Chain A
């Protein structure tokens, strides 16, 4: 009961021809399709570089870091020891070059060290070592004389420095052996 000669009317044909031939596919369909194809191995998966472990977690780097830390600690420790062992004279020499106030502070600090060293020497209980005590006294007086000379250079009119130098000269003259036996002049 069909009509083999059924034809569209011009209006119907126009209506069919007016229908769109293309339509935009929904967003995301392309990416989903690509992902499926990648999962199936049809399309290659884009290369994503594997993120390497941070360098500081690598054993060689860790050992190196520990060694460097130990070396740094040892260097600092040795330098501290070195500074602590320096004599007041070397420290004074190192301190040269500052202002008057800085040099005065340095004299004060090293003078205190000098007095403290003398105090330690005088409190020695080894009274039987006569020669040692004489040597210690000579050494202390030598330092005192050198200091007095510097003070005299700093303040030529200062009576105390002059008196110290006169006293030391007198003492040296008294203790001076006969001319044939003189051997060493300290200062």
Chain B
């Protein structure tokens, strides 16, 4: 049984905002940080423009409004996509770009029943999965249902960098479920709707993914000097 159903989850914005300390599913709605190029004409306004107003301006072809929307949501989207594609930055770039293209094309039909960022991440999730399927010459090899999972005990000490590497090394399907559940905080029901799989399948894949991560981290800890 393939790990992912043939049907791609619809871009219905089914991923609700998670993490109670976030606004609209984001850590901060403020202007983006760091090396993103800031052209003089698009400096962040003193008062944040509502996303719906920005979206309406984007629909009218307003480039500056798009840039504001882009800078508000791309850091979050890029991090999510980067994890979903296993840390390959070039792939993440392609996915983010394609996500924005699809989002702007479908912006007119967005009903604003969910947060814009959540809807955008749902699109990004599907684009990442499409890209993974398109680019892999052979199907992603996941563990079969009757496969014995790696035996690993729960860990008492985990370094975030090691955890990041272990997650990136997972098979794509398992990685997606683990990222959505353990990093993004979605429930199995929500993941099932977003990915078009049964909640039980999501639970199963999460269990295997955690076991694999623990095994990787355990072996790393054993190999490292005390």
Residues of A within 8 A of B (CB): 1-4, 6, 8-9, 11-12, 14-16, 18-34, 36-38, 40, 42-44, 46
Instruction: Tell me if B210 and A6 are in contact (CB < 8 A).
Output: yes
Q: Write out the residue numbers on chain B whose beta carbons fall within 8 Å of the beta carbon of A38.
A: 63
If over half of A's interface residues share one DSSP class (helix, strand or loop), that class is named, otherwise mixed; here it is: loop
Instruction: Tell me if A26 and B89 are in contact (CB < 8 A).
Output: yes
Interface centre among A32, A34, A38, by most B CB within 10 Å? A34
Instruction: Tell me if B154 and A25 are in contact (CB < 8 A).
Output: no
8 Å CB contact of A46 from B26, B63, B158, B206: B63
Minimal beta-carbon separation of B51 from chain A (angstroms)? 17
Complex Cα gap A142–B160 (Å): 123
Instruction: Tell me if A9 and B37 are in contact (CB < 8 A).
Output: no
Q: Write out the residue numbers on chain B whose beta carbons fall within 8 Å of the beta carbon of A32.
A: 97
8 Å CB contact of B203 from A2, A24, A30, A46: A2
Complex Cα gap A125–B156 (Å): 138
Instruction: Tell me if B37 and A21 are in contact (CB < 8 A).
Output: no
Instruction: Tell me if A18 and B210 are in contact (CB < 8 A).
Output: no
Complex Cα gap A112–B28 (Å): 101
**Extra contacts besides A22-B75, A34-B67 (20): CB < 8 Å:** A1-B146, A1-B149, A2-B204, A6-B207, A9-B156, A11-B156, A12-B214, A22-B79, A24-B33, A24-B78, A25-B96, A29-B74, A33-B100, A36-B101, A37-B101, A42-B58, A42-B61, A43-B58, A43-B62, A46-B63
Tell yes or no: B104 within 8 A of A by CB: yes
Instruction: Tell me if B155 and A12 are in contact (CB < 8 A).
Output: yes
Instruction: Tell me if B93 and A26 are in contact (CB < 8 A).
Output: yes
Instruction: Tell me if B182 and A16 are in contact (CB < 8 A).
Output: yes
Chain B window 181-200, contacts with chain A (Cβ cutoff 8 Å), 1 for yes, 0 for no: 01100000000000000000
**Given A22-B76, A22-B79, A37-B101, also A15-B163 (CB < 8 A):** yes
Tell yes or no: B32 within 8 A of A by CB: yes
Chain B: which residue is nearest A36 at the CB level? B101
Complex Cα gap A20–B71 (Å): 17
